[in-house]
Structure 1
Amino acid sequence: MKPVDFQLHRPQTLAETLTLLHDLADDVKVLAGGQSLLPLLNFRLARPAHVVDIGRVVGLARLRRTSSELSIGATVRHAEAERSPSVAAHAPLLTAALPQIAHPPVRTRGTVGGSLAHADPAAELPSVAMALDAVFVAASTSGERTIPAAEFFRTHLTTALRPDELLTEIRFPRAAPGTGAAFLEVGRRRGDFALVGAAVQVTVDGPRIAEARVCLSGVGQIPHRCPAAEEILTGAPLGSARVREAADAVRDSVRPSDDLHATAAYRKDVAGTLLVRAVTKAARRAESADRKDET
């Protein structure tokens, strides 16, 4: 199929973009890399009268780091973030998740901001943002505001962004020394949207886990942060049986639905299994990072 007719706008500046969104807010879609929007347009699941292409907007493709955070502009490509040493050093969970997104051609075009604004709960980056307590920066002609990840994702494909707002950057807190991460998922085939995914980041202090962050994808209408599992893991000796308790906490807390691809019972079971594997992998990486920090 082909999209319905629409008017394409290609602003060069952020101010021009925000003016367009303000004036066209009732019937406009934002185009970044196009990997989420273009299929919706082609299948006529989205029928906007206007499309604003932000690919040329100056300043949205910047990747910056400070002593406390990593800032990723909305139009930074998946592939660029995947290769970035700054991302690997500051947000190892993001580095672990990016290679899981679809296929290399998609990651070459797709953007970090586009994936997050699309807000598919089965996608990788929303669960990473939720696990890391990322902060979203939204701009409009009225000014700028920040939205915590816990408040950004409202429901399936729906965020806290207002129609006249543009997501301009995402801020991730810098990982502490001795931090390791893992992102594991199960799908029907490589590159498909995952049936279930597990985003885990742990920080170790000697032989114990000092902090754990756990978020699941594909088990609800938004990414599922699991504080119960995090509490069980925090303070646990590395390699202890408490990881199994955390897996049980995950299974007890998720509320997936049956669909054409998998049953709810299957998703619950897989969520717990992935949690065990992801914690084990993340802890191993954290131990290695901790040893490097000591040398």
Structure 2
Amino acid sequence: MQATSTLDHPEAPPAANSKTFARAFGDIKTAWQHRELWGHLGWQDIKQRYRRSVIGPLWITISMGTTALALGLLYSQLFNENVSTFLPYVTAGFVIWGFIVGCVTEGTDVFIANEGLIKHLPAPITVHVLRLVWRQTLFFAHNLIVYLVVLAIFFSTLSNPYMMNNDPELKPGVSWEILLAIPGFALLALNGVWIALLFGIISTRFRDIPPVVHSFINLVFFMTPIVWHAGVLNKVSDGQGGWRILIAELNPVYHFVEIVRAPLLGHDLDWHHWVVVGGLTIVGWTLALVALRNWRARVSYWV
């Protein structure tokens, strides 16, 4: 009898006992144990992208700095904002947004882009997700240099209580609470894992998902307080500002951005942002684990 490979049967069903939460948790646990593998692959992704470049990964920083400077100066004039407070706001928002959009858009292609490794490397599929989030973390670290430069330039303003023109709330200024950005980013990265895992599995089966997400993400950017701040929604006449704040509050990305950006800028961190992000983390990981349990074994057949 002629031997055949499972790769010749793209819709071959997985074993029945593979659909268990124990297997799903085992996939994540084993992937974490392979951190040397995905850590090395993440570094190599950056090196490969800037291969034969004179300044290498510094292009990441230059690109982010140019974009933040241009939009910060532009929107500060459009909204009649003080550059010394608005430019740091835009810069911090852009740095955090870059991490989020990277996890979402690249997450939809995470398994499709790693088709060769998935078919030939006996490793948990979560390895590819952790590789993606690690790579985006390295990008975030490079982009954070831009924020540090802007913070140094405007430190005299940001280190004291200040106000933004269209926001009546007094900001206490940058202090030791800036360290709260560390657990905030850790929680953000944890959500990046389930987002890439869930969207990656769904997109591998339904190839229409990636272009839809790539198109929709541009709309999310303009609906998120990054080049504008939520305080401006309350500055309307006739007392109609109450319902307008829902434009920001009903946007999940706003809460993810705020738990990192607020400490970086010395803003009061409203704890309801942590509550919302915590709830989304639980719901998101539940959905991701269900998807991992049900379709983990099918990913190699779908790619």
The alignment's TM-score, normalised by the length of structure 1, stands at: 0.27
Give the number of the structure with larger relative contact order, counting CA–CA contacts within 8 Å between residues 6 or more apart. Answer: 2
More strand per residue: 1
Q: Of the two, which has the highest radius of gyration?
A: 2
